[in-house]
Amino acid sequence: MTVQRVKAGLLVTLVLALLWVFAPDQHVVKVKLPSDLNVHARHATMEEKRENKSLIISYSRALGYNSQQVKCLITLWTRESRLDHLADNKRSTAFGIAQLLRERSREPELQILHGIRYIGHRYGGSACRALSHSDRRGWY
């Protein structure tokens, strides 16, 4: 995926993401994946991980996270998956960037939104509280 494609799709994805986060009971919109994605890859490339980090920063800021919360979120998810949207925990059903249980999406955008939504429900929207819990317990 090129930076131009990410930028071009970011606005549309962000609007859909905001609708999904603030209207969670609505039907999910299916997004057609670009044909050049390798859906059988086992690990994300370094470029994909950089793009994932950029998406995390963009989405979390758009949803009101301050700089400290963004830093905690990056630290937490780097620890969980190294920002790899294909990270698969063989000891559980955890998958993706946020390592959420029973995560089924291979799309980084949805994984990020699912992770932010989870933190919102479980930790009152505080990524730093989630990171602190992870420091103490080894999971969040």
The per-residue DSSP string of 41-106 comes to -SS--HHHHHHHHHHHHHHHHHTT--HHHHHHHHHHHHHHHTT-TT-B-TTSSEETTTTEET----
What residue has token string 């730093």?
128
Could you tell me if residue 130 is inside a domain?
yes
Mean pLDDT of the chain: 85
Whether the predicted pLDDT of 11 surpasses 80: no
Could you tell me if residue 42 is inside a domain?
no
Could you tell me if residue 81 is inside a domain?
yes
pLDDT digits (tens, 9 = 90+) for 23-65: 555 444 455 545 445 556 689 999 999 999 999 999 999 999 9
Contact 87, 97 (CB under 8 A): yes
Structural domain containing residue 115: 3-19+53-137
Could you tell me if residue 83 is inside a domain?
yes
Could you tell me if residue 94 is inside a domain?
yes
Could you tell me if residue 46 is inside a domain?
no
What is the tally of structural domains in the chain? 1
Q: Model-level pTM?
A: 0.72
Whether the predicted pLDDT of 2 surpasses 60: no
